[in-house]
Structure 1
Amino acid sequence: MTEPQNVETAALYMNPARDVAVIDYSSKHMSDIFTLINSKELFEVVRLYLEQHSHHEEGTDNEFEDTDPKTYLDTVKAVLLDREDAYDKFNRYEILDSIENLYSYYRSFLRIGVLNLHGSEASANTFMQLDDQFNSLVIRSYRTLEEKLQGFKNKTYRQVSAGTSAVVLTQSHDWPIPKGYEALKPIRFLDTLSLRPPMMMTTPSNKREGTFTAVPDNPIDKFHGDRKEWYCFPAKIGESLCYIYFHRDYFVSGISLANLFEVADAKEVAGHKPDEILLFGIDKTEGDVCHYHHDEENDIWVGEVPYNDKTTYFGYMKKMCLTLHNLHMIYENHLPIHGSMVRIKFANGKNKNVVFFGDSGAGKSESLEALQEIADDKIISLETIFDDMGSFAFDSDGNMYAQGTEIGAFVRLDDLSSAVAFNNMDRGVYLNPDRKNARVIIPADSYRRVIKHHQVDMWVYANNYDTEIGIHQFENEDDAKKTFITGKRFALGTTDEVGMSTTFFANPFGPVQEEEKTRPVIDKVFNHLFKQGIYVGEIYAHLGTDKSKDSLNESAQELLDVLWNS
């Protein structure tokens, strides 16, 4: 079978290689069934479907799927109009089976509705209503056709996301574009997003490889994106402003960002130069890998990610954003922390802020989950401050504080407790749920709380390789720094690494790239912690040795006891 051609009309784009569809509401409004049936857009959907479902290729015997799009749709119209000749050429049950398959095929795509604001408040207030109308039209058309073909009314109806998976409102903004960045001017920003969770999405790749490296030349010189094909997600990452430009074929990752980072509003974008810019899906990069560049003249960190199947994994978009942010933080004398932070409220009136530290798969999120799982009447609540990346910094009085970067969590499904998984199911964005390293992106906390200055009461390294159980407090600063800086872990296959590995400061997203600038900040942080008598230790997570989680729960229980009694 030849590769199917993309659909490209004024109102619809579909790429079957990426299972992505973009519906442009600004170009066409469909108000009734026959407007939809007679549209060029539906004709193209049928064409694409038939190209991939010919019975000669599939080994089926449904002759209706061996016809051409015009005959297919003429037959559908005849059925809808109750014409006597509707079944002259094809069996009604073959038509019914094909319509069922066509409907499922269309819904297998990530379908993004797009409406440009054009400065109109009416559009801003009604774009979700417009999307609701389109979803209602698609499902009503399907049900009408289905019931006419089967000859009776359904007794059970399911209110699925028939038309779109999400809708976005876009807007153009004037911001101080530096010389050399003019190619970015036509690209519209995502202004407001409406998701229809739970969203189940697939990508060709499900694992991240390698690290991001610096290049001497600014990647902006390679950007020649078309307004029709590119979008910008303006993200607030911690207190950084990052403009994330992505090709429409990466809408799976682009829409997933909404569950991870706060969207900057129009006032925060208009007139503001970003701290970071990411170009995601450009045609070519050196060695076909991901790079970054520090534009010192304009003080902008610029990242580039090439267009290929490998980079469809959401980890590339998330981690490149965090790398750019962390590099910016290091240059601001902040210390990027690869870890999670939780605020625990105890029944005895104490509140404790605990930071879990380690590289991917070390057991940071899992340790937090274990705490939630074994929580008893000693704990009133556990509030996640950040799930994967934060930073330590000092205020003007010399007091150290922690601050988060993300409002959501990007977590392996296998590592979620059943309670957390079910409580967040209706808000989640699920990526490759049927494959190894299946992930979900769920909201975790408000932006206001994430960027608040939080004191640190305990900092523990997630040790997933030793066989001890419980937690261990370091007696001196040198021993603690050695463990944290070595960044040892047993890799669990979430990246291309396997087995025992080490990473400088357990963070390949900034500190590895700028080790020389990071070390003085590490020294300052550890010196402060030990002078203040703050608990610095390690928790034995056992992810590399015990898949049952029993040992991790025992370690979490000891951690809980220490916090309760301190």
Structure 2
Amino acid sequence: MDKSILKSEDFYLNPDRQISIIDFNKNYVNNIFQLVNSKALKRLVSLYLENQKHSSPNHLENQGADIYVSTLKAILVDDKPNYSQFDDDEILQSIEDFYSFYRAYLRISVVNLHNSSIVSKEFIDIDEKFNEIVIQLYRTIEEKVQGFKTNTFRQVNAGTNASILTQSIEWDTPAKYNSLKSIQFLNTMMLKPPLMMHTKSNKREGTFTAVDYNPIDHFNGERDEWFCYPALIGESLAFIYFHRDYFVSGLALANLFKLADTSKIAEQKPDLILLFGIKETEGQVSHFHHDTENDIWVGEVPYNDKTTYFGYMKKMCLTLHNLHMIYTDNLPIHGSMVRISFSNGKHKTVVFFGDSGAGKSESIEALQEVADDKINNIETIFDDMGSFSFDENGNIYAQGTETGAFVRLDDLSNSVAFNNMDRGVYLNPELQNARVIIPANIHKRVIEHHNIDMWVYANNYDNEIGLHRFDDINQAKDTFVSGKRKALGTTDEVGMTTTFFSNPFGPVQEPEKTQPIIDKVFDKLFEDNIYVGEIYTHLGNDKSKDSLNESAKELLNELYNN
């Protein structure tokens, strides 16, 4: 274990991953005096001073953790002789730096339900009280040293910026998965957005590959080190197990997939299991396996710096779900689906299709920008992945997977950005390919059976402007199946690429099983005279979006008048 990691029964802190976890079940401070006397605070001071050792000229910070904490105590009880040897300005500066040092971490409190309805109702209050104690300690020391009351307050999340309620739940566990039975499920989550989180990686690389062994054979995680986010991905039940050093991704899931409640988990067998943060995988890359005996899709993602990027967790979840869809004769769609309400009373449901960077989300935003007063509302059904299915009468419908959107900050229009700013989970906002995860719709609405009025391919490589409807079913299939696009660098790809059915998360892994479903879907869409076409986004060449706006005008005209 890394020597800089602080690990005890009630407190965990990993400087390399900038994560701190406080277990309120093991220890809880009730006032500032218990906090300043706690072992956790002293360990945190030691780590801070070690971090400052080679750069700080501050006399207080050169004295070590014992004297530093004793000084804080002396200030609290107005014991001037025991801290008068230090300059007041130096004390204030050090306290400010120490406070900022701690708040730079993702800080999570954990409370276990223990089947207590009282805890279930009060865990947020428990966390809020802790935050008040931390900020009270900071302000009390500051005011005592400076000698006057502070008259400008910033009510930040001083102690934690997230809290989780965990629970043990008995589920239908096949024998080979017994190693997972002790891992706690996330029961309830409280985020304090906007959350600004940072990871060591900011781009996803490669695709996920099949292996002939079950990744559960690699799992030997300990109860205190792992958590399970039980997710509803579309209508699939997914148990997403992650190592605590991946809590950035674990928390971000709350804005993307609905957290399944106890009734969905108890005595149930999941469709999907993801093991995220295993120490060793074959070739140190990400894999999946179909456990046909138990009909569970199992994924594994290795513990390393690359996989800290949230895209690995999101896309592996969707890969497992999409494979599950293919094996149940449904067609995974890499795209965005919206229901548009027009001022003339019409409602149209449109699916934008294409691989990352093709211009799916950008087309929707361009449509909003050029709509003037013709559009009353655009409802997002799904933002990145959905599926086409057939009902019992043979009619085709679409449904989504995610309740949120994982979006590049650069691609957000001002209206979308500012309307959702206070609800977002932001990842590496200062870097290229910065992302935000924002809620988009409720799960019940996402999984409804939605009709399809238009399905368009986001073409970011051709020079035409506007909209093109396919008259020839084979030409349409060739365009959608070839999956051409000009990659924009959001993954490790650059330049012109092709991806089977524009979807490297399921169809690429199972093209032979996917193709018959594709044929069936296209046959039905053309039989029902559904608009199947392409919109020219120009995003592979034209960063100004002027051409895209022209294409959006033609799209608006088609939807509004037909």
Structure 1 length-normalised TM = 0.98
CA distance in 1, matches of 2:477, 2:146: 70
CA distance in 2, matches of 1:429, 1:375: 29
- 1:345 aligns with 341
What pairs with 1:419-498 in structure 2 (closer than 5 Å)? 419-498=415-494
- 2:237 aligns with 241
Query: Which of 301, 304, 316 matches 2:297?
Result: 301
Deviations 1:97-141 (A, max 9, x none): 111011001000000111000011110000000000001111111
What pairs with 1:37-186 in structure 2 (closer than 5 Å)? 37-54=36-53, 58-186=54-182
What pairs with 1:503-518 in structure 2 (closer than 5 Å)? 503-518=499-514
**Matching residue's letter, 2:188:** T
- 1:27 aligns with 26
**3-12 vs 310-319, greater mean Cα deviation:** 3-12
After TM superposition, give the deviation of residue 59 of structure 1 in Å: 3.4
CA distance in 1, matches of 2:18, 2:488: 28
Deviations 1:500-547 (A, max 9, x none): 111000000000000000000000001111111111111111211111
For 2:495, what is the secondary structure of its paired residue? strand
After TM superposition, give the deviation of residue 4 of structure 1 in Å: 5.6
After TM superposition, give the deviation of residue 551 of structure 1 in Å: 1.5
**Matching residue's letter, 2:15:** P
Q: Does 1:211 align with 2:210?
A: no
Q: Does 1:224 align with 2:220?
A: yes
After TM superposition, give the deviation of residue 87 of structure 1 in Å: 3.1
For 1:180, what is the secondary structure of its paired residue? helix
**362-371 vs 104-113, greater mean Cα deviation:** 362-371
CA distance in 1, matches of 2:480, 2:552: 20
**Matching residue's letter, 1:41:** A
How many pairs are equivalent? Answer: 562
After TM superposition, give the deviation of residue 397 of structure 1 in Å: 0.2
Q: Does 1:354 align with 2:350?
A: yes
Q: Is the 8 A contact 1:175 1:270 kept in 2?
A: yes
Query: Which of 273, 278, 285 matches 2:269?
Result: 273
**Matching residue's letter, 2:199:** T
**Matching residue's letter, 2:479:** T
After TM superposition, give the deviation of residue 196 of structure 1 in Å: 0.1
**192-201 vs 343-352, greater mean Cα deviation:** 343-352
After TM superposition, give the deviation of residue 390 of structure 1 in Å: 0.1
After TM superposition, give the deviation of residue 324 of structure 1 in Å: 0.1
CA distance in 2, matches of 1:109, 1:234: 25
Q: Is the 8 A contact 1:490 1:501 kept in 2?
A: yes
- 1:393 aligns with 389
**Matching residue's letter, 2:239:** Y
Deviations 1:131-155 (A, max 9, x none): 0000111111111111112222111
Query: Which of 402, 423, 448 matches 2:398?
Result: 402
Moved over 6 A (4+): none
CA distance in 2, matches of 1:37, 1:10: 18
CA distance in 2, matches of 1:533, 1:251: 47
**Matching residue's letter, 1:47:** S
Please report the RMSD computed on the Cα atoms of aligned residues, expressed in angstroms. 1.1
After TM superposition, give the deviation of residue 374 of structure 1 in Å: 2.3
CA distance in 1, matches of 2:55, 2:338: 55
CA distance in 2, matches of 1:213, 1:390: 21
For 2:174, what is the secondary structure of its paired residue? coil
Q: Is the 8 A contact 2:368 2:375 kept in 1?
A: no
- 1:525 aligns with 521
After TM superposition, give the deviation of residue 358 of structure 1 in Å: 0.4
**Matching residue's letter, 2:43:** E
Identity among equivalent positions (%) equals: 65
Q: Does 1:501 align with 2:500?
A: no
**Matching residue's letter, 2:26:** S
**82-91 vs 105-114, greater mean Cα deviation:** 82-91
For 1:420, what is the secondary structure of its paired residue? helix
CA distance in 2, matches of 1:491, 1:186: 43
**Matching residue's letter, 1:36:** L
For 1:526, what is the secondary structure of its paired residue? helix
- 1:191 aligns with 187
For 1:253, what is the secondary structure of its paired residue? helix
- 2:557 aligns with 561
CA distance in 2, matches of 1:543, 1:200: 28
CA distance in 2, matches of 1:406, 1:464: 25
**Matching residue's letter, 2:96:** E
After TM superposition, give the deviation of residue 348 of structure 1 in Å: 1.3
CA distance in 1, matches of 2:3, 2:541: 46
Q: Is the 8 A contact 2:211 2:288 kept in 1?
A: yes
For 2:223, what is the secondary structure of its paired residue? coil
CA distance in 1, matches of 2:58, 2:554: 63
After TM superposition, give the deviation of residue 84 of structure 1 in Å: 2.2
Q: Is the 8 A contact 1:4 1:48 kept in 2?
A: no
CA distance in 2, matches of 1:371, 1:152: 55
CA distance in 2, matches of 1:283, 1:61: 40
CA distance in 2, matches of 1:44, 1:370: 52
**Matching residue's letter, 2:194:** P
Deviations 1:239-284 (A, max 9, x none): 0000000000000000000000000000100010000000000010
After TM superposition, give the deviation of residue 69 of structure 1 in Å: 0.7
Q: Is the 8 A contact 1:391 1:404 kept in 2?
A: yes
**Matching residue's letter, 1:415:** D
Change in Cα spacing, 1:4 to 1:155, as seen in structure 2 (3 Å) is farther
For 1:304, what is the secondary structure of its paired residue? strand
CA distance in 2, matches of 1:525, 1:118: 48
After TM superposition, give the deviation of residue 372 of structure 1 in Å: 2.1
What pairs with 1:306-325 in structure 2 (closer than 5 Å)? 306-325=302-321
CA distance in 2, matches of 1:230, 1:379: 46
**Matching residue's letter, 1:503:** T
CA distance in 2, matches of 1:551, 1:309: 39
Q: Is the 8 A contact 1:4 1:16 kept in 2?
A: no
For 2:4, what is the secondary structure of its paired residue? coil
CA distance in 1, matches of 2:287, 2:423: 32
**Matching residue's letter, 1:5:** S
Deviations 1:40-93 (A, max 9, x none): 010111111111111xxx433112222211110001111111112143332111
